[in-house]
Amino acid sequence: MRHRILVTDDIDPEGIAILAAEPRLEIDVVPTLAVPELLDRIDQYDAMIGRSATKVSPELLRRGTRLRVIGRAGVGVDNVAMDVATELGIAVINAPAGNTVAVAELFFGVMLGLLRHVPTAATSMREGRWDRSALLGSELRGKALGIVGLGRIGGEVATRAHAFGMTLLGYDPYVADARFTGLRVRRMSTLDELLAEADVVTVHTPLTEETTGLLGRRELSRMTPGAYVANLARGGIVDDSALAQALESGHLRGAALDVFAVEPLPADHPIRRAPHVLLTPHLGASTVEGQRNVAVDACIGVRDALLRGDVSRSINVAAVSGAEWGELQAAMLIAQRAAALARAVLAGQGLRAIRRLSLRCGPELIGAGNALLSAAALGLLEGVLETDRLNMINARALAEQRGIELAMTEVNQLESPYALEVALAGGMQELAVGGVATPGVTARITRIGSYHVDVAPRKTLIVLTNNDVPGVIGRVGTLLGDAGVNIAEWHQARLAQGGEALAAISVDSPVPADVCKALLELPDVLSATTVNFR
């Protein structure tokens, strides 16, 4: 099967070469498509790769009926309708690390240029002047640098700032103390605290509802008089108009902006006329090395998603930490099939409306908990939703849309560090199904409700409950044998002799409906549930 990929922007040839080397991939590079033409042809492609120039709108995503992956050769995805992509089960893959160094280096380039008046000096020299006395500058050494957002780029800025002899302050409520300590950055508990102490403030956060206007009129007024501001992250995080006023009033000494709320920046925008401001046209990632890196990262991510089903790089399915995606396939399979099994058993008991899905993970799997939760949600919804786009990307979102509460916890008391348990509940009924996915060992279902079992969840699993009396196993085995259903594994469990027992029977083929009915008619069989796993 061949997969078609549309490349809509200028992507480094090294990235395209990675895709072209795969015979199962067909690539169309058309970097100048107008929006109407793009809308007309997007339904021909399984994946699309672009940069910020292409707006991946809700309409585009909905028209892309074959789309499985969107690749973004860069960090930001504010040009992608993420909510719609997730709803449709389309993986969005970016390249968060490829241009990290490029942005960090540009920060120091523009700040040195600003503090030492390099652009003004260069212009004056070209105009035949010698304005040495008017261009007295300032040093970075000894200044307090306030970093808002201590992720990848913020961390690279911090590392380099030490070499300049700067004092480092940081604000990021989503980063652990250990990262601040490792980067030798003093943690500030609030943004206002950082603004009050910093001589230079730089922002390195994504553009979200929370960060839009993060540095507005109020925040800029609270900054140290004579301080500097830099925004090389996303336009809109700093209020450009408020910044222009702060510069005009003299409250701030200077600013460096590489990104703007509206791009290209309008010719009449007041920030263009503000004093002591250094403006660049979104050059943060514009290095040869940075463009090559993000292209390679994005193209590898798209390739692996199409050919191997590896969506570990997708930002709309929670990232896996502490383990490789391939190493977690068994655990995700157990999560998916445990949820499907629990749903089928509960449905056989008359419960159709599941209201809660709980995932409990052993310590070796908790780092992948969100991916496992997505797999469990997928197992819960398979065969329930009428959609051919149900997958790991949208399963959690679709479950929540149906009013199903999702929860995840780490449990150290499970039978193995690689154990997990999926519990479904609705009304007064609840059922937990557990399993173990030890690396290098066949994954097993090890518990169904209160019964301890040991069976591999192959294509079809029969779960029987019966009275614990002689003859039941023989009658069930004979019936299945006569029907041509081959038994791969059989595990019989009971809580106490003479009570009820449970059988987990793995078989090699689907069980016909008339055979399921015949199982229920056998003496002492109390229930029979058949689960056909995808």
CA 142, 144, 149, 152: dihedral to nearest 10 degrees?
A: 0
pLDDT digits (tens, 9 = 90+) for 253-274: 999 999 999 989 999 999 999 9
pLDDT digits (tens, 9 = 90+) for 12-58: 999 999 999 999 999 999 987 889 999 999 999 999 999 888 899 99
* Alpha-carbon separation of residue 447 from 160, 349, 358, 451 (angstroms): 53, 18, 15, 6
pLDDT beyond 50 at 344 = yes
- Per the structure block, which two tokens stand in for 347? 């449905």
- Residue partners of 493: CB distance under 8 A and separation at least 6: 451, 452, 453, 501, 502, 503, 504
pLDDT the model gives residue 270:
93
Number of C-alpha atoms within 13 angstroms, CB side, residue 381? Answer: 28
Share of the chain above pLDDT 90, in %: 64
pLDDT the model gives residue 386:
56
Give me the chain's average pLDDT, please.
90
- Catalytic one of 63, 282, 458, 494: 282
- Catalytic one of 37, 139, 263, 289: 263
CB atoms inside a 10 Å sphere around CB 486 = 9
pLDDT beyond 60 at 167 = yes
The domain ranges of the chain are 3-98+290-308, 100-279, 317-449, 458-534
CB–CB of 147/137 below 8 Å? no
pLDDT digits (tens, 9 = 90+) for 69-122: 999 988 778 789 988 888 888 989 988 777 889 999 999 999 999 999 999 999
Does the annotation count 234 as an active-site position? yes
CATH architecture of the domain with residue range 100-279: 3-Layer(aba) Sandwich (3.40)
Task: Say which CATH class 3-98+290-308 falls into.
Answer: alpha beta
CATH superfamily of 317-449: D-3-phosphoglycerate dehydrogenase; domain 3 (3.30.1330.90)
- Per the structure block, which two tokens stand in for 114? 């600003």
pLDDT digits (tens, 9 = 90+) for 381-413: 886 665 567 777 788 878 887 888 988 887 777
CB–CB of 164/192 below 8 Å? no
Do 100-279 and 317-449 fold alike per CATH? Answer: no
Closest C-alpha among 334, 378, 403 to residue 89: 378
pLDDT beyond 70 at 315 = yes
- The CATH T-level fold of domain 458-534 is Alpha-Beta Plaits (3.30.70)
Q: Which amino acid is at 74?
A: G
d(CA 392, CA 518): 36
- Catalytic one of 72, 204, 234, 447: 234
CB–CB of 381/399 below 8 Å? yes
Q: What is the pTM of this model?
A: 0.65
